[in-house]
Each structure stands twice: as structure tokens, then as C-alpha cells.
């Protein structure tokens, strides 16, 4: 009985974290509803722009969501890596949030172009070694993750997980040539590592159905229709 209660309590904590994150994203204007065009040319009824976490307070709170998600997952890791460019402020902030939670770990990030003076090279920060978690905002096509995995393997370190803010849970590819898998699923299958997200599209749909969210419930049919069409 005690174990059943513990599992139920852990599930509730996780659900609350996801709901709190979606509420936070809405309050900061990072998550919006309407009609938007994605990079893949899709018309989407919602848009998530992590670049709008652009002040100290919001970035600090975002980092704490990342840190809690990573620690709750139970993944064993030694350090963090942030791919340029969005991953750079994220990985630094998440490292600080982990430190505040009693887990002090090194971090590194890369630059797009190799520097031939000063410290040189393309990597900045702590030496890449051991078990590495890649920190990014979202996975759209998997390009950033693929490049990060190559960088990590090149120095004989081991990527053990990818940590992102939102999993859109939609199939990759273009209209008429959609993959049966999402970009997140493809990353997991290709590299055999888990992708940990603070929240996903199912969490968003659940949030839109909660009592008290009457002003948002109007968007649920459009988001549901998008999920039916593009969902992996």
C-alpha cells in the first residue's frame, strides 16, 4: 500500500510540474495561441518560442524546471552540453539551477566556427568527458542533437540524454512525405538515448481541458485537430 501511495504521489508531482510549466509559458508569452507558420511550412494553432525567456527571472525559473525534470528522471550524468546558439544560455542556467538543488556539475558548449586564436577550437567550458546530457529548447529536425552527439563522441565522451523544454510530438517531414515518427522519436531511435521534456503536446491538451481554463478551452479543438493530423 505504501509503495502504491508513493508512486501516486510521484505521478502527481510530475503532473503538477508540467501544468506549472505550461502556465508559466503562457504567463510569459512564450506559449501563444492563434495561427502561426512553422519552419516546416505547417499552419499551427500554437507557437512556443523559448527565445522569449529573455530576462533573468524567467530564465532562472525555466532553468529550475529543466533541473527538476532531469533530476526526477533519475538519469546518471557527469556534465551538461549546450549546442550553439540557444543551448548556450540554457546550459549555463541549468547548471546553476542544479547547483542550487545540491548537484554541482560542469558544463560546456560549442561555437559555430572554430577559433584559431586565444584558447582556440570550437569547445568552451569544462572538458567534455564522462556521461553528458545535451540541453536544448526543442527538437525540430534533430540536426542540433546529431551535431552535438558527434561532438561528444569525437572526444570519447558519452551522450546519455537530451533535455528539452517542449516536445511537440509531431511527425517530421513535409506534407505528403510525413515520417511515421516524430523528430524526438527519431533521435531516440538513432542515438539510443532518451529525450526528456518538461512538457509535451499531450500535457498542453490536458491543460486546455482543466476546469478554470475557460478562456483557453476555445483553442483545444484546433490543437486537437493539429494533433490528429500531425501527431506521431
pTM equals 0.89
Question: Can you tell me the distance from the alpha carbon of 81 to that of 146, in angstroms, rounded to the nearest whole number?
Answer: 13
Tens of pLDDT, residue by residue over 109-119, are 998 766 554 45
Residue 114 lies inside a defined structural domain of this protein: yes
Torsion region of 176: left, alpha or beta (phi above 0 gives left; psi -120 to 50 gives alpha): left
Let me know: does 202 contact 176? Beta carbons within 8 Å.
no
> Around Cβ 125, how many Cβ atoms within 10 Å?
18
Q: According to the model, what pLDDT value does residue 50 have?
A: 93
Q: Is residue 227 part of a domain?
A: no
Within-domain flag for 156:
yes
Sign of torsion over alpha carbons 183, 189, 190, 195: positive
> At 166, which helix (H) or strand (E)?
strand 158-167
d(CA 120, CA 138) in angstroms, rounded, equals: 29
In a domain, 19, yes or no: no
pLDDT of residue 38: 84
Compute the mean pLDDT over every residue in the chain, rounded to the nearest whole number: 89
What is the count of structural domains for the chain? 1
pLDDT for 220 beyond 70? yes
* Residue 27 resides in a domain: no
Instruction: For residue 111, give the CATH number of its domain.
Output: 3.40.50.2020
Q: How many angstroms from the chain centroid is the CA of residue 146?
A: 15
Where in the sequence numbering do the catalytic residues fall? Answer: 115, 117
Asked whether the beta carbons of 186 and 139 are under 8 A apart, the reply is no
33 pLDDT higher than 60: yes
pLDDT, position 214: 76
User: Which range has the worst mean pLDDT, 47-56, 198-207, 209-218?
Assistant: 209-218
Domain holding 138, by residue range, is 56-199
pLDDT digits (tens, 9 = 90+) for 118-149: 454 689 999 999 999 999 999 987 889 999 99
Where residue 7 falls among pLDDT bands split at 50, 70, 90? very low
Please check whether residue 109 lies inside any domain of the structure: yes
Contact criterion met (CB below 8 Å) for 152 and 184: no
Structure confidence at residue 121 (pLDDT): 67
- Map grid coordinates 515518427 to a residue: 181
15: pLDDT confidence band, cut at 50, 70 and 90? confident
Question: Model confidence at 12, in pLDDT bands (50, 70, 90)?
Answer: very low
Is residue 215 situated within a structural domain?
A: no
Query: At residue 74, what are phi and psi to the nearest 5 degrees?
Result: 75, 15
| Longest CA–CA separation in the chain, Å | 63
Q: How far apart are CA 37 and CA 137, in angstroms?
A: 18
CA dihedral 152, 161, 84, 179 (to 10 degrees): 110
Euclidean distance between CA atoms 5 and 2, whole angstroms: 5
Q: Is residue 119 part of a domain?
A: yes
Q: What is the pLDDT of residue 11?
A: 41
> Confidence class of residue 20 from pLDDT cuts 50, 70 and 90?
very high
Amino acid at each position: 500500500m505504501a509503495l502504491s501511495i508513493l508512486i501516486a504521489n510521484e505521478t502527481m508531482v510530475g503532473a503538477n510540474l508540467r501544468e506549472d510549466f505550461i502556465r508559466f509559458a503562457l504567463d510569459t508569452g512564450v506559449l501563444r495561441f492563434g495561427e502561426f507558420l512553422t519552419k516546416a511550412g505547417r499552419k499551427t494553432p500554437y507557437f512556443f518560442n523559448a527565445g522569449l525567456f529573455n530576462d533573468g527571472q524567467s530564465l532562472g525559473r525555466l532553468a529550475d524546471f529543466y533541473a527538476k525534470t532531469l533530476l526526477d528522471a533519475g538519469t546518471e550524468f557527469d556534465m551538461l552540453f549546450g549546442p550553439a546558439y540557444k543551448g548556450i544560455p540554457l546550459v549555463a542556467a541549468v547548471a546553476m539551477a542544479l547547483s542550487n538543488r545540491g548537484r554541482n556539475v560542469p558544463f560546456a558548449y560549442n561555437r559555430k566556427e572554430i577559433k584559431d586564436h586565444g584558447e582556440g577550437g570550437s569547445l568552451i567550458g569544462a572538458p567534455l568527458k564522462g556521461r553528458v546530457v545535451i540541453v536544448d529548447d526543442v527538437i525540430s529536425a534533430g540536426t542540433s542533437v546529431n551535431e552535438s552527439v558527434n561532438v561528444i563522441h569525437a572526444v570519447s565522451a558519452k551522450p546519455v540524454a537530451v533535455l528539452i523544454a517542449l516536445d511537440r510530438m509531431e511527425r517530421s517531414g513535409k506534407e505528403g512525405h510525413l515520417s511515421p515518427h516524430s523528430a524526438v522519436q527519431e533521435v531516440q531511435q538513432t542515438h539510443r538515448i532518451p529525450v526528456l521534456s518538461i512538457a509535451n503536446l499531450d500535457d498542453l491538451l490536458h491543460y486546455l481541458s482543466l476546469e478554470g481554463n475557460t478562456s483557453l478551452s476555445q483553442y483545444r479543438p484546433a490543437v486537437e485537430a493539429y494533433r490528429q493530423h500531425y501527431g506521431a
